[in-house]
Amino acid sequence: MTAALAAPARATGWTPARAGVFALLVVAALWLGWKAWDVNITMSCWKNEWPNLPVCDDINGRTPAERVARLQERLAGNPGDSQALVELAMRAHQPETGAGLDAAALLAAAGRAAPQDTTVLQLQANDALTAQRWPDALDKLTRLSRQHHDAEATRVLAMLVAQAAQQPAQTGLQAALLASVQADPGWLDRVLRAMPGAKLPLASAMPLVSQVVTAGPGLPAPLGLFVIRQLKAEGQWLEAHAVWLQLWKRPLGLLFNGDFEQAFVAGGFDWEVIERDMHRGGARVELAGWRERGQVLRVVFTGRAMKIPLLRQHLLLPPGHYRFSGEYQSGDLRSNEGLSWVFSCATGGRELARTPALKTTGGAWQTTGVRLEVPADCGLGVALALQTQAPYEARTGLRGEVLFDRFTLVQEAAPQGTTQP
């Protein structure tokens, strides 16, 4: 009975051997935990995740020279340490830390270890730009801009585009740009959009745009409309209209969408509604279905003050004589002086011609029009706009509505003056 009762006590007790094993496990766990903590701290210091941690000064080095020495120690222990290679290559390119370092060899090694690293690409681009190795520089800059969304690389590309336009045949830069955009036109989008903000003329990029249009897929519609708006703002009417034609890929008349059968395309050479707030403004401009006519232009006046012009279309008109005509109808327009369609130079605003005052027609459709001459000093850009005949009525407001339809503009061989046809 005594032996039987004693056996369980011996089975559950701590023997010296078992206690020793447990102690070793505890020591091993503590050592592994400390080692993991040490490795994590070291890696965090290397990655500069804890820049203010005091221990990082001992790990990374307190001075630039010590930092270089630590990086060299890391590479000696692990030649494939890409992070150390990249940082050492960067420091080799800096005057204060590059003494005694082979910058070219380190950058080549870093490029093999981390070819997509942003710092590596920036260093490679800088070296290529300094040596005017344009294809290599453009390869790195376009990758930085497109894949890494590097704003500085995009800005440098924009500057190169503008520079190449000033000296297209002197350095080979223009040829390199054309070859680059032919191989991959996708990088051009970000560069074109960056040029206005960098105060660079977008017109200088037209050789590249033409390359995309003639030999590539063409500009996407959003980018094409952005280019058109900017070129118009720069007064480059011929170039802007060429992009407009590319978007439609078919011949267009002198006046676009004169029958008002399609929705307006903002930013191009289509009708532009000037008043954006249709609820508070004095005029609501819209397209509306109208019986057998299909779709017409409808302008509803609310009695409030309005922005002038109400509606506008920019036209590309070489010097010469033209005849404009259209139809309108109003049953309840309350206005002392009426409305007019006015032609003017897009640059400077000099008026060229205007239709007679348009007033209520008692609900019947009537014809209006005007002949005009575009002088050579007007430039190619001409604006056709709807406005009040008298400026004061834009301030006091009108009431009622007017419909417009079937607008045409043709060039005439024989001048007939600028009076009503």
Furthest-apart CA atoms within the chain: distance in Å: 137
Q: Is residue 377 part of a domain?
A: yes
The confidence score (pLDDT) of residue 13 equals 59
95 and 212 share a domain?
A: yes
How far is CA 160 from each of CA 121, 163, 171, 174, 204, rounded to the nearest angstrom? 17, 5, 11, 9, 10
pLDDT grade for 51, boundaries at 50, 70 and 90 = low
The confidence score (pLDDT) of residue 47 equals 53
66 and 158 share a domain?
A: yes
211 and 311 share a domain?
A: no
The domain total for the chain is: 2
How far is the first Cα of the chain from the last one, in angstroms, to the nearest whole number? Answer: 134
- When the pLDDT of each residue in the chain is averaged and rounded to a whole number, the result is 84
CATH number at residue 367: 2.60.120.260
Q: Is residue 1 part of a domain?
A: no
291 and 172 share a domain?
A: no
pLDDT exceeds 60 at position 163: yes
Residue with tokens 């978007």: 247
191 and 287 share a domain?
A: no
The confidence score (pLDDT) of residue 354 equals 97
Q: Which domain holds residue 369?
A: 272-412
215 and 276 share a domain?
A: no
pLDDT grade for 93, boundaries at 50, 70 and 90 = confident
The confidence score (pLDDT) of residue 38 equals 40
Query: Of the given ranges (13-27, 118-132, 171-185, 392-406), which has the lowest mean pLDDT?
Result: 13-27
Query: Of the given ranges (70-79, 204-213, 308-317, 346-355), which has the lowest mean pLDDT?
Result: 70-79
Q: Which residue has the higher pLDDT, 407 or 67?
A: 407
Query: Of the given ranges (68-77, 289-298, 334-343), which has the lowest mean pLDDT?
Result: 68-77
Residue % of the chain over a pLDDT of 90: 61
78 and 212 share a domain?
A: yes
202 and 313 share a domain?
A: no
Q: Is residue 26 part of a domain?
A: no
299 and 172 share a domain?
A: no
Q: Is residue 15 part of a domain?
A: no
Distance separating alpha carbons of residues 302 and 223, to the nearest angstrom: 36
CATH number at residue 126: 1.25.40
The confidence score (pLDDT) of residue 34 equals 42
Query: Of the given ranges (45-49, 157-161, 180-184, 355-359), which has the lowest mean pLDDT?
Result: 45-49
User: Which of 166, 190, 225 marks a domain boundary?
Assistant: 225
What the block records as the tokens of 281 is 């403004």
Query: Of the given ranges (203-217, 323-337, 362-376), which has the lowest mean pLDDT?
Result: 203-217
Please compute the mean of the pLDDT values over residues 185-203 and round it to a whole number.
Answer: 95
pLDDT tens-digit profile of 318-331? 999 999 999 999 98
64 and 194 share a domain?
A: yes
Q: Is residue 192 part of a domain?
A: yes
Please compute the mean of the pLDDT values over residues 38-59 and round it to a whole number.
Answer: 47
pLDDT grade for 224, boundaries at 50, 70 and 90 = very high
Q: Is residue 43 part of a domain?
A: no
Q: Is residue 258 part of a domain?
A: no
The confidence score (pLDDT) of residue 114 equals 85
CB burial of 237-263 (b: ≥16 within 10 Å; e: otherwise) equals bebbbbbbebbeeeeeebbbbbbbeee
pLDDT exceeds 60 at position 27: no
pLDDT exceeds 90 at position 359: yes
318 and 391 share a domain?
A: yes
User: Which of 225, 252, 287 marks a domain boundary?
Assistant: 225
Please compute the mean of the pLDDT values over residues 141-156 and round it to a whole number.
Answer: 95
Q: Is residue 138 part of a domain?
A: yes
Residue % of the chain over a pLDDT of 70: 82
The confidence score (pLDDT) of residue 12 equals 53
113 and 221 share a domain?
A: yes
The confidence score (pLDDT) of residue 296 equals 97
